[in-house]
Amino acid sequence: MNLIAEALAWLAEPANWSGPGGIPARTGQHLAITALTILLAGLIAWPAGVLIGHTRRGAGIVGALTGAARAIPTLGLLTLFGLGLGIGLTAPLLALIVLAIPSLLAGTYAGIQAIDPAIPAAARAIGMSPAQVILTVEVPLAMPVIIGGLRSATLQVVATATLAAYTADIGLGRYLFAGLKSRDYTEMLGGALVVVALTLVLEVALAICQSVARRIVDPASRTQRTPA
Amino acid sequence: MTYRTISRRSILAGLTTAATAGALALAGCSRSDPLGTDAGNDAGTASSRTIVIGSQDYYSSEIIAEIYAQALEDADYTVDRQFRIGQREAYAPEIEAGAIDLFPEYTGPLLQYWKPDTESRLSEDVYAELLETTPDGLRLLDQSPATDQNGYTVTQEFADEWDLTTIGDLTKVTTPLTLGANSEGEHRPYGPEGLATTYGVEVAFTPIEDDGGPLTVKALKDGDIQLAIIYTADPSIAENGLVSLEDPKGLFIASHVVPLVSDNVDDAAAAIINKISAAMNPEDLIALNARSVKEELPAATIASDWLAQQNLG
């Protein structure tokens, strides 16, 4: 209990809120690396997921591969990339992308595959091109599940992005590493609380996005309160 | 399990030392109690009691402890190996309680454990202050020339290019210097601040969280950093063509191998250990560590080979 009180005092200390090593700067870096990871992982996972979902092929193999990828310890992967690429942001970024891809990919293809096959068939029947079917029918209908994948990927990445500090002067992980080695558990817990707060904020924001998307896709689900 | 064994020992040892006179009565009145009977026996044959040897959970410490063990066994002492116990926080109370009789320690870190605010940094000062600080019931034997301490490390090419021998020579370097070390190094007295005040060397800092391991070595070789903190007895220094810079002003606290012993180690045993300490030089320690890291030999083999080579076995 005492430690928590000290950690809160650490958070309240104005000196910790300014300068290049201050909480706002570190939080900004942390958010930036999270966003960059999700963006780069999304560039790979979203098109691949759409393709798998649309063709309804390869879900088994890709599912197994990405499922296995979830089991890779990110710290080990980071060390491996670091030994090849040297210190800096590249190694942690790659390791985090590997962490983010499975959730994004699974959300995308699962969302599209879950659509009643009659709907894309009907879209084709009225003369839509494959691209139109994907962009105007399948992706919008799958959006709540795709955002669900984004939500779980973001949750994992924002919490694991602390590892960026393993080889670079970046992110909230700096508080954790510095606190751990010097037995400054106040700083460590304070840093961890900021990560938790950040994670919760992102989680709530994405949950709201998800429910908005769900309401758009299926207006009937909320008609009692918001008549369309 | 190890911890439990030692805890029981500490009870035994406590009984033994606390009440030699009372031991007879204790043994007499508690024949059915195995603990009481043991204590009685121990008290009766204290001079030939088993010497309990411990080591840190660190391969180099285990090798040194194994060398002590084999040398004592050669002299017909009975030893009990309690190796790889853990960090100082875990084993120091056991030594202080008399549960361990012989432990290879390191002067600087041990002094800082007992006296965190010590200002001693250089070898002789540290040893002298450590002798004063050592609690009653424990005794320090001679410190060995062998050291295993933090050191500022550069690549051989970098050292040749700027003609570097000591940390102070870094002032000759005109290009920007970056130090790569664990996060906490940034604010430690030996970190960038200490470099500036003690040696007048200005460095930038970048965190690499692998304790001077392979990522740090890679960063040094790539030139991402010019300066790293790596243990002076780490075989990776020689293996990767790195150089430890000398630290004449004592930025890092001196850390010589030093045996910490209880009263259960008699003078003859102490003489054997002192001979080992005197024979072990820094190069020996690096070579011993290298055999463990590179050849992956067990501590027992490394220890017996070294003892044979030194004609101590």
Among chain A residues, CA nearest to B216: A87
Radius of gyration of chain B, Cα coordinates, nearest whole angstrom: 22
For chain B, the domains span: 50-147+255-309, 150-244
B150-244: CATH superfamily: Osmoprotection protein (prox); domain 2 (3.40.190.120)
Tell me the shortest Cα–Cα distance from A92 to chain B, in angstroms: 12
Contact residues on chain A for B212, CB-CB shorter than 8 A: none
* HEC profile of chain A: CHHHHHHHHHHHCHHHHCCCCCHHHHHHHHHHHHHHHHHHHHHHHHHHHHHHHHHCCCHHHHHHHHHHHHCCCHHHHHHHHHHHHCCCCHHHHHHHHHHHHHHHHHHHHHHHHCCCCHHHHHHHHCCCCHHHHHHHHHHHHHHHHHHHHHHHHHHHHHHHHHHHHHCCCCCCHHHHHHHHHCCCHHHHHHHHHHHHHHHHHHHHHHHHHHHHHHHHHCHHHHCCCCCC
Q: Are B209 and A177 in contact (CB under 8 A)?
A: yes
Q: Which residue has the tokens 């029981």?
A: B8
Contact residues on chain B for A181, CB-CB shorter than 8 A: 182-184
CATH topology of B50-147+255-309 equal to that of B150-244?
A: yes
Label the pairing between strands B138-140 and B257-262: antiparallel
Tell me the shortest Cα–Cα distance from B8 to chain A, in angstroms: 29
Buried b / exposed e over A150-178, threshold 16 CB at 10 Å, is bbbbbbbbbbbbbbbbbbbbbbbbbbbbb
For chain A, the domains span: 23-216
Does the pLDDT value for residue A220 go beyond 60? yes
Query: What pLDDT score does B69 carry?
Result: 96
Q: Are A95 and A101 in contact (CB under 8 A)?
A: no
Q: Please judge whether B225 and A167 are an interchain contact, meaning their C-beta atoms are less than 8 angstroms apart.
A: no
Query: What pLDDT score does B272 carry?
Result: 95
Structure tokens at A165: 């500090």
Q: Does ipTM come in above 0.95? A: no
Q: Which of B205, B209, B218 sits opposite A83 (nearest CB)?
A: B218
Mutate to test the interface with B, among A26, A74, A181 (most CBs of B within 10 A): A181
Residues A67-120 have pLDDT tens digits of: 888 888 998 999 999 999 988 899 999 999 999 999 999 999 999 999 999 999
Name which residue leads in pLDDT, A178 or A204.
A204
Tell me the shortest Cα–Cα distance from A144 to chain B, in angstroms: 39
Q: At the topology level of CATH, where does B50-147+255-309 sit?
A: D-Maltodextrin-Binding Protein; domain 2 (3.40.190)
Contact residues on chain B for A79, CB-CB shorter than 8 A: 210, 214-215
Low pLDDT (below 50) residues in chain B: 1-47
Does the pLDDT value for residue A221 go beyond 90? no
A23-216: CATH superfamily: MetI-like (1.10.3720.10)
SS3 helix, strand, coil % of chain B, rounded to 5?
50, 15, 35
Mutate to test the interface with B, among A77, A162, A167 (most CBs of B within 10 A): A167
Q: Which of A177, A182, A184 sits opposite B209 (nearest CB)?
A: A177
